[in-house]
Chains A and B, each alone.
Chain A
Amino acid sequence: MLLTVVEDREPTPEVCALARSLDPVVEAVAYGADPGPRELARWGVTAVHRIRHELLDAYAPEGYGEALAQLVARLRPSGVLAAATEHGTEILAHAAARAGLPLATDCVSVTGGDPWRLVRSRGGGMLLEEAELAAPVKLVTVAPAAAVPAAGPPHAVGECAVAEFVPELEPRHVRARVVERAARTEGTGLATASVVVSGGRGVGSAEGYAVLEELAGLLGGAVGCSRVATGNGWRPHRDQVGLTGTRIAPEVYLACGISGATQHWVGCMDARTIIAVNTDPDAAMVARADYAVIGDLHEVLPAMVAEIRARRSVHSGPVVSEERG
């Protein structure tokens, strides 16, 4: 039997599909909230273990991990899988530390047997690591980019039994716990914009971003930047695209004066179309982009702004007068 950790009531498709390819019997772990057994049954999950404890009313990493470690000791599953989210990774790491088990994070593929052979995504996709995981219970977090085995999604709806599990916890297990929760206010503009106009060292100064702001404004997009820009204090960190910044997938990514270091690339590589503006025709960003302009961004971007403005005024004003004439 293999256990999957369910967050937010929703089973994660990659996790369930991978779990079923590793073990014919898949059960789930859920904390507090109604786990939606019918939804889980559609994924072939035959039982859900609901962890209930008054000390776990608020999210507490250590307490959640300790509860999972106790459940693992009781059930002795072949492995435990969770999505590689903030909570999923953290809960498994705490459980692993407490149970004295290894943990492989950010896996994109896992092959069963003993040991498990797996592929980890390092640095958000910069490198792939082939590794072996040997342990009595194998703990793995599954990256969103995981190759979902052909076993496939929802199938015959069976029965999913619900079992309660009350762990033995003490206040020392919840010393770190959430005391307040709020909606995220910063950094969402960049993450959801369909166009991102991004600038790196080539922009040269904080003031240099004015033309990027203007272009982004015209295209209804957001401004992004490289780590050199945040490190120099030109832009706030919430604008940073990349491994340690935000990973984005806009329709269009315009990379201006950015060399295309791997740590930046993994943050923008999911963009539908990438356009590079760079003085250096040999820059990695130019080589990897779909389109490129070789030149000084301080000349190219103002010219683009002028071009867009000119076309718009043609569409509104003059076009109408031509029709009249």
Chain B
Amino acid sequence: MEVLVCVKRVPAAGARVPLTGDGRDIDTRHLGFTIGPHEECAVEEAVRLVAAHGGRVTVLAVGPAECAEQVRYALAMGADRGVLVDAGRSDPDPEATAGAITQAVRTLTGGEEPFDLLLFGDCSADAGHHQVGIRVATGLGLPIVSGVKALEVAGDGLRMRREAGDGVEVYRVPLPAAAAVREGLNLPRYPSLPGRLRARKAELRTVAVEPEPGGLRTVRLRQPADDRAAVVVLGHGAAAAPAVVDVLDELGVV
């Protein structure tokens, strides 16, 4: 089974998301970078599928050359090949990102084995547009299910489960297909030491593309207002227990 997983390099923000002075971007000077939790699960699922059914996992990221760090992380988790897609701009809109991935997939599969399965995160960890996977699948003529929380090979297709509203939906989809998956699908492994060594040495392929810009343009980012009152410290250690229980009592939950 040939599986492609699309991952995005995003800032790993902690207690606050710092912004640049002009509000145009996240200030990443003091931040590390990561891939989103949904995408980590996508990589894990791909590695497990290939371990069970044979084939190869290809990992792809659209963005600057630094994306190599995230692609190598996925290789360390067990993916086989890494691809960097240079779309020539800093933060493309979701249509352009999808266009870039679609063009890159066409380049990768020109004359080679086509992918049986494309995996995406349900939404990217920073922008969260909820649409890049659907746009790529549509561009390539593949069926796609979003929000997938369980996935298994069934016959010559896939059986997928997801939550929607207050219910659970089960889908059956023929291959080739795509899925946008959610955290909880599996418990992603931590990369092993040999995995890390292998990933560090791996050669990444770079594909240059020129996607059309889309119609959604980010103007500025800002922090939401935080209007909670100042904290009341009830005390230190075990001695504070009566004060906490008093509060719980006042709130009527004891």
Which A residues lie at the B interface, using CB under 8 A? 8, 59, 61-62, 85-87, 89-90, 93-94, 96-98, 101-106, 115, 117, 122-123, 125-135, 141, 175-185, 187-188, 194-195, 219-221, 227, 230-231, 233, 237-238, 240, 244-245, 251-252, 259-263, 265, 272-276, 281, 284, 286-296, 299-300, 302-304, 306-308, 311
- Indicate if the CB atoms of A244 and B254 lie closer than 8 Å: no
B193 within 8 A of A: no
B169 contact from A175, A181, A276, Cβ within 8 A: A181
B228 contact from A59, A176, A262, A288, Cβ within 8 A: A288
Which residues of the partner chain B approach A130 to less than 8 Å between Cβ atoms? 218-222
- Indicate if the CB atoms of B15 and A260 lie closer than 8 Å: yes
> In the complex, what distance in Å separates the CA atom of A295 from the CA atom of B162?
40
B9 within 8 A of A: no
A62 contact from B95, B143, B217, Cβ within 8 A: B143
Which residues of the partner chain B approach A293 to less than 8 Å between Cβ atoms? 233-237, 240, 243-244
A291 contact from B162, B187, B232, B254, Cβ within 8 A: B232
B173 contact from A175, A188, A300, Cβ within 8 A: A175
* 11 pairs from A and B in contact (CB 8 Å cutoff): A103-B131, A105-B128, A123-B126, A130-B221, A131-B219, A175-B143, A175-B173, A179-B171, A244-B37, A273-B251, A300-B244
161-204 of chain B: CB within 8 A of chain A: 162-174, 177, 182-184, 187-188
- Indicate if the CB atoms of A127 and B234 lie closer than 8 Å: no
> In the complex, what distance in Å separates the CA atom of A295 from the CA atom of B233?
11
Closest Cβ–Cβ distance, residue A113 to chain B (whole Å): 14
B244 contact from A141, A233, A265, A304, Cβ within 8 A: A304
Which residues of the partner chain A approach B90 to less than 8 Å between Cβ atoms? none
Nearest B residue (CB) for A261: B14
Task: Given the known inter-chain contacts A96-B131, A97-B131, A104-B216, please indicate yes or no for A195 contacting B253, CB distance below 8 A.
Answer: yes
Nearest A residue (CB) for B220: A130
B134 contact from A93, A231, A238, Cβ within 8 A: A93
Closest Cβ–Cβ distance, residue B57 to chain A (whole Å): 21
- Indicate if the CB atoms of A103 and B167 lie closer than 8 Å: no
Which residues of the partner chain A approach B223 to less than 8 Å between Cβ atoms? 127-128
> In the complex, what distance in Å separates the CA atom of A106 from the CA atom of B216?
13
54-82 of chain B: CB within 8 A of chain A: none
- Indicate if the CB atoms of A176 and B143 lie closer than 8 Å: yes
A183 contact from B168, B221, B238, Cβ within 8 A: B168
Task: Given the known inter-chain contacts A94-B138, A103-B216, A293-B236, please indicate yes or no for A176 contacting B145, CB distance below 8 A.
Answer: yes
Which residues of the partner chain A approach B143 to less than 8 Å between Cβ atoms? 62, 175-176
Which residues of the partner chain B approach A221 to less than 8 Å between Cβ atoms? 253
> In the complex, what distance in Å separates the CA atom of A290 from the CA atom of B234?
10
Which residues of the partner chain B approach A181 to less than 8 Å between Cβ atoms? 167-170
Closest Cβ–Cβ distance, residue A273 to chain B (whole Å): 6
> In the complex, what distance in Å separates the CA atom of A134 from the CA atom of B215?
5
Nearest A residue (CB) for B19: A127
Which residues of the partner chain A approach B128 to less than 8 Å between Cβ atoms? 105-106, 122-123
Which residues of the partner chain A approach B240 to less than 8 Å between Cβ atoms? 293-295, 300, 303
- Indicate if the CB atoms of B168 and A284 lie closer than 8 Å: no
> In the complex, what distance in Å separates the CA atom of A28 from the CA atom of B95?
26
Closest Cβ–Cβ distance, residue B50 to chain A (whole Å): 22
- Indicate if the CB atoms of B241 and A303 lie closer than 8 Å: yes
Closest Cβ–Cβ distance, residue A313 to chain B (whole Å): 13
- Indicate if the CB atoms of B169 and A59 lie closer than 8 Å: yes
> In the complex, what distance in Å separates the CA atom of A130 from the CA atom of B221?
6
B29 within 8 A of A: no
Which residues of the partner chain A approach B163 to less than 8 Å between Cβ atoms? 86, 184, 187
B52 within 8 A of A: no
- Indicate if the CB atoms of B15 and A259 lie closer than 8 Å: yes
Which residues of the partner chain B approach A115 to less than 8 Å between Cβ atoms? 215, 217
Task: Given the known inter-chain contacts A293-B240, A307-B241, please indicate yes or no for A244 contacting B169, CB distance below 8 A.
Answer: no
